Amino acid sequence: MLEKGKIGSSQLTILVILYTLGDSILVLPSIVASEAEQDGWVSGIIGVAIAPLLVIFLYDALRKRYPDSTLVEYSQKILGKWLGIAVSLLFVSYFFITTATYLSEIGDFMKSQIMPDTPIQVIMILFMSVVLMAARLGLEPLVRSAEIFFPFVVLLVSTLIILLLPEIKFQNLQPVGEGGLKQVIRGSIPFIVFPFIEPVAILMILPFVSQKDRIRKSLFVGQFLAGSVLIIITMLAILVLGSESTARQNYPIYMLAKKINIADFMTRLEAILAIIWFITIFIRFSLFFYVTVLGLAQTLKLQDYRPLIFPFGILLIAFTLIMTPNIVHYNEFISEIWPFYAMTFGFLLPLLLLLIAKVQKKDGPN
C-alpha cells in the first residue's frame, strides 16, 4: 500500500465537512439561483435530503466489499486487468480535470476580486506550491491541518451569518413556488452534484480510516452538516441580494459579505468569507490532487507516488490555462457540461462497479 497513514472517524467527519463545503460555499448559490430563482433554498433542502443518502449507501457498500482497497484498486479487481486499468485511468483523469477546475476558480477569484494587477499564472503557481507540499506530506498531515482549521471555519461562518442577519429582506423569498416544481428540481441538481457527488475522491482514502465501523456515520454527519451550511448560505444570498443579483454574480457570497455594516464601524468584512473559502478550497483541492497522483501510482504499480507530484503540478497549471481561457468559457462549461460529467464519475460508474461486483459475487458479502 503506497499510503501508510491512518485517520480516525472524527477526523473523517471534519474532512468531509470541509471538502463538501469546498468551492461550493462561494459559487453554488449563484448556480442554484440561476435555475430556481427565489426558491433556491428549497432546491437546497431537496438536495440535502436526497444526495447524502444516495451517495453514502453506494460508497459504503463499495467500501464494505473492498475494505482495504481504493477505488482504482477494486476497479481492476471487478473488471479485470485491462478494462480495470482503463477505468482506473478514467477516474484519475476525472480527479485531474476536477483539480484543474479548482485551480481555475482560485485564479479567477483572486484576479477579479483581490489582486487584479497580479498575473493569474503567478497566483496559480503560489497556491499550487502549497498544494504540492500537502500532497507530498501525505494524508495524515492533510487531515491534521483540516482539524486545526475546522474551529476557525466554524467561528467565521457563524460570525458571517450573525452579522448578515440585519441585512435580510424576507420579501426576496416571495413568491414561493412561483416557478413550479420543475424549476425547483432543476435547481436541486447542482446542489446534489457539486457538494456531494463530485467528491468521489473520498473512495480513495476510506481504506485508511482506522475505525471501519464508524465510516458510514462519519460520512453522513459530515455531509449533512456541510449541506445545512450550504442551505443557509444560499438562503442568505437570496434574502440579502435577491435571486436576480445572486444569479448574476460569479461569487455572490463574497458580494454578500461586502454588505455587512454594523453602525458604520464594522464594514467590508469580505475577508471573513475569503478566509473561509481559502481553507475549504485548499482541503478539497489538496485531497483531489493527492488522490490523482496516488491513483495513478496505484494503477501503474509504482512503489511511491511522490515522484509524480512535481511534474503533475506543472502539468496541472498548463492544463488549467488551456482548459479555461476565460471566465465566460469556464461558466458555460461548469453549468452545461460539468453536472453530467461529475454525475457519471461520482455516481453512475461506482454504481456500475457495485452491480458488477454483486453479480460476480466477488470479495465480500452480497
User: Over its length of 366 residues, how does the chain's per-residue pLDDT go in tens digits?
Assistant: 577 778 999 999 999 999 999 888 888 999 999 888 889 999 999 999 998 888 999 999 999 999 999 999 999 999 998 999 999 999 999 999 999 999 999 999 998 888 889 999 999 999 999 999 999 999 999 999 999 999 999 998 998 888 888 888 889 888 877 778 888 999 999 999 999 998 899 999 999 999 888 999 999 999 999 999 999 999 999 999 998 988 888 888 888 877 777 766 666 677 788 889 999 999 999 999 999 999 999 999 999 999 999 999 999 999 999 988 777 777 788 878 898 999 999 999 999 999 999 998 755 544
Whats the size of the chain, residue-wise?
366
Is residue 18 a contact partner of residue 146, using CB atoms and an 8 Å limit? yes
Kindly state the cell numbers that stand for 77.
479487481
- Upstream peptide bond of 141 is cis (omega within 30 degrees of 0): no
Terminal alpha carbon distance of the chain = 26
Q: Decide: 43 and 230 in contact? Cβ < 8 Å.
A: no
Contact call for residues 13 and 147 (beta carbons, < 8 A): no
pTM: predicted TM-score of the whole model, two decimal places? 0.93
Q: Is residue 283 within 8 Å of 19, Cβ to Cβ?
A: yes
User: Under DSSP, is residue 178 helix (H, G, I), strand (E, B) or coil?
Assistant: coil
Cβ contact 141:134 at 8 Å: yes
Cα 343-142-320 angle, rounded to 5 deg: 50
